[in-house]
Amino acid sequence: MHLLVHFSVKAQEVISLTEQLCIRGGRRLKGTVSISGAKNSAVALIPAAILGNQTITIDNLPEIRDVHIYKQILKQLSAKVIYNKSQLIIDPREMVCKTVQDGLVTELRASYYLMGAMLGRFGESCVGLPGGCNLGPRPIDQHIKGFQALGATIEQRKGTIYLRGKDLRGAKIYLDVVSVGATINIMLAAVKAKGQTIIENAAKEPEIVDVATILTSMGADIKGAGTDIIKITGVEELGGCRHSIIPDRIEAGTYMIAAAATKGEVIIDSVIPKHLEPITAKLREIGVEIEEADEQILIKGNEVYKSADIKTLPYPGFPTDLQQPITSLLTQANGCSIVTDNIYSSRFKHIDELKRMGACIKVEGRSAVIEGKVQLQGTNVSASDLRAGAALVIAGLCADGVTSISGVQYIDRGYENIEQKLTQLGAEVWREQI
């Protein structure tokens, strides 16, 4: 039997705002952790589902705040949404085109996918400017450029973007920057446009392939997803399908780094090792032992780690989303490491918090210069965004004493059951009212 969940995002947020995540450090992580479905796929697959004229079933859905917000958005647009644990059934047939309540749209970055998906479904969309983690400037000019190339007109009034394009036509679109969001958004708008769309300099992230896979199962004609040229031939109609979300490579990478930082021995289960290669390679360079199997990765931590230089790049480069977590590990390596973020110029809000724990780090432009090895000390710290939260969790796991992390609502945005998963690995983690 399916359970219809009337989940209140606001209610959960209020709870998260009054909570802190506490960690007593010093325990080596040991055991197996099972990785959830990918957040950044889920928040694109849900809007993709509205393009169909039949029911879509999405399996392996992570139970995280961004997904709950998206479910609420769809309900506001009158879609039928049935949610049962990790499965979401979306019946988009009775959906209406209207403005989504600002509070929900500004809650998450990926609300921008409503622009492409509603444009494809209704020939128009009116969506507030997206929110999400504050990582410095996050323009959406490439999304807009794509919609315009397909023939849509744009108007921005009072923080809302109105797109109109009843008769979208395929076009050649060259992205000036490699953008995950723009690549997916243009795909969403183009699958039902007349003729062929070619996206050049497209992003190649596994999440893009996942979105192309669901759209193809719904009847779309997409070639080249996962390469930098994607060709989409528009079709009249899309139907329903059942789709299972790929594993979350960023959640997996976070646990790989946590296992290494605590000198633990952890099996990371239900993963696609190929998606983790950029992380595996760096961890091996630092001195972590890694064995790969079909859907598992074994991480064996060591007593001594070497410093490393890391530069974030679009996939298959080292992901910006693990730049903050790996900084915490590098505080435990001997010597000087440099972590440069080429994607977000100011994704460094975790550094001041790590310094409060005793880390020796300087931010110079786009780089963090980390002097190891330092014994971190537990204290009160604050997560300013999702991956900053992950970095502080890892720091807390190897610190002396108790680390209390506020800003839990950011961590809940992207990590399913983080304290249960860590507890299962032997960490001492709990939530407390502030």
Residues marked as catalytic: 133
Q: Considering Cα of 431, then 36, then 142, then 190, what sign does the dihedral take?
A: negative
66 or 419: CB nearest ligand EPU: 66
Lookup: tokens for 50: 């509205």
110 or 152: CB nearest ligand EPU: 110
Q: How far is the CB of 305 from ligand EPU (least distance, A)?
A: 25
- Residue nearest ligand EPU, CB atom distance: 181
Residue 373 preceded by cis peptide, ω within 30: yes
49 or 250: CB nearest ligand EPU: 250
- Residues that bind ligand EPU in the complex, under the rule CB under 6 A: 39-40, 43, 109-110, 133, 137-143, 177, 179-182, 203, 250, 320-321, 343-344, 386-387, 414
Query: Alpha helices, DSSP H only, in 191-294?
Result: 206-217, 249-261, 277-286
CB 72 within 8 A of CB 80: no
Q: How far is the CB of 180 from ligand EPU (least distance, A)?
A: 4
176 or 309: CB nearest ligand EPU: 176
Residue with tokens 């059951």: 417
Lookup: tokens for 288: 């972590």
160 or 380: CB nearest ligand EPU: 160
CB 403 within 8 A of CB 378: yes
Q: How far is the CB of 167 from ligand EPU (least distance, A)?
A: 24
108 or 333: CB nearest ligand EPU: 108
Q: What letter does residue 169 receive in the DSSP assignment?
A: B
Which among 122, 55, 56, 386 is positioned nearest to 250, based on CA atoms? 386
Length of the chain: 434
CB 40 within 8 A of CB 180: yes
Q: How far is the CB of 246 from ligand EPU (least distance, A)?
A: 13
Measured N-to-C along each axis, helices 113-122 and 141-149 cross at an angle, to the nearest 10 degrees, of: 20
Q: How far is the CB of 183 from ligand EPU (least distance, A)?
A: 8
Three-state SS for 363-400 is EECCEEEEEECCCCECCEEECCCHHHHHHHHHHHHHCE
CB 7 within 8 A of CB 65: no
Q: How far is the CB of 79 from ligand EPU (least distance, A)?
A: 20
